[in-house]
C-alpha cells in the first residue's frame, strides 16, 4: 500500500515483465438498488456531489458495510436514503466500475414493489427523494439529467433480465416521432 485514506487506498502492484509498478485504487465494494413502486415509479435520490460539483440524480447506493453482506447493505441504503423498503430484493449482478484503476465491484439489486417504511423514518438531510414515472427515466438519461454510469448499467441489467422496462428502449421511433 502506497497511501491510505478513510475512503480509499492507493495500491502498488508489480506486473510481470514491467519495470514500473502498476497503481490501483482499493475502495470498498458498492451496492446500488433499482427500486420500483407499484405505481410504476422509480425511486431516485438527488444529492450534491463535491467531486463533480453538482447535484446528481442517482439510484439509492452506498458502500458495502463491514460485517454486512451486499444484500444487507443494499436494504440498508435503500431504507436510509429513501425511506422505502421491499420484502423482495433480487440480485441482478456485479459490475466493475473502472477495470484500469479500481479494484472494487458494484453489487446491483432490484427492489420491486417498494413501499414507504413506517412514518418514524428520518431521511438524510442532504438527500432529496425523487419518484420518477418509469416512462420518463429514458428521457432523463437522454437529456443528461441521470448520468451516473454505474446506475445506468444497473438499470440495463434490470432491463436485460426483464425485471424492468423502459417503454421506448430499443424501439425505433414511430413515423411522427423524430429520431434521436
Distance from the Cα of residue 128 to its chain's centroid: 16
pLDDT band of residue 170 (cuts 50, 70, 90) is very low
What residue has cell string 456485479?
94
Burial 93-106 (b: 16+ CB within 10 A, else e): eebebeeeebbbbb
SS3 167: coil
17-69 pLDDT tens trace: 888 999 999 999 999 999 999 999 999 999 999 999 999 999 999 999 999 99
pLDDT over 90 at 166, yes or no: no
Q: Locate 127 and state its grid cell.
A: 438527500
Assess contact for 85 and 72: CB atoms under 8 A. Answer: no
Mind listing the domains of the chain with CATH numbers?
Answer: 28-160 (3.90.79.10)
Three cell numbers at 134? Answer: 418509469
E strands along 8-160, which residues? 9-13, 22-26, 30-37, 41-49, 54-58, 61-63, 84-85, 89-96, 105-116, 127-133
Q: 3-state DSSP: the chain helix, strand, coil percent, rounded to 5?
A: 20, 35, 45
Provide the pLDDT for residue 18. 87
The pTM (predicted TM-score) of the whole model is 0.86
Amino acid 164: pLDDT: 63
Average pLDDT, the chain: 89
What was the pLDDT predicted at 146? Answer: 96
Tell me the per-residue pLDDT of 91-121, one tens digit each, with 9 for 90 and over.
Answer: 999 999 999 999 999 999 999 999 999 867 6
Half-sphere exposure of 41 (CA within 13 A, CB side): 14
Amino acid at each position: 500500500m502506497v497511501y491510505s485514506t478513510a475512503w480509499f487506498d492507493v495500491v502498488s502492484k508489480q506486473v510481470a515483465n514491467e519495470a514500473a509498478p502498476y497503481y490501483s485504487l482499493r475502495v470498498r465494494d458498492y451496492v446500488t438498488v433499482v427500486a420500483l413502486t407499484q405505481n410504476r415509479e422509480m425511486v431516485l435520490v438527488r444529492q450534491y456531489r463535491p467531486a463533480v460539483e453538482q447535484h446528481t440524480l442517482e439510484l439509492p447506493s452506498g458502500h458495502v458495510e463491514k460485517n454486512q453482506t451486499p444484500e444487507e447493505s443494499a436494504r440498508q441504503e435503500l431504507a436510509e436514503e429513501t425511506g422505502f423498503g421491499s420484502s423482495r430484493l433480487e440480485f441482478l449482478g456485479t459490475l466493475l466500475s473502472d477495470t484500469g484503476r479500481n479494484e472494487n465491484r458494484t453489487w446491483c439489486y432490484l427492489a420491486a414493489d417498494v413501499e414507504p417504511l413506517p412514518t418514524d423514518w428520518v431521511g438524510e438531510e442532504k438527500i432529496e427523494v425523487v419518484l420518477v414515472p418509469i416512462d420518463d427515466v429514458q428521457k432523463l438519461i437522454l437529456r443528461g439529467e441521470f448520468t451516473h454510469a454505474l446506475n445506468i448499467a444497473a438499470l440495463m441489467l434490470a432491463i436485460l433480465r426483464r425485471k424492468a422496462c423502459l417503454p421506448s428502449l430499443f424501439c425505433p421511433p414511430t413515423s411522427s416521432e423524430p429520431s434521436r
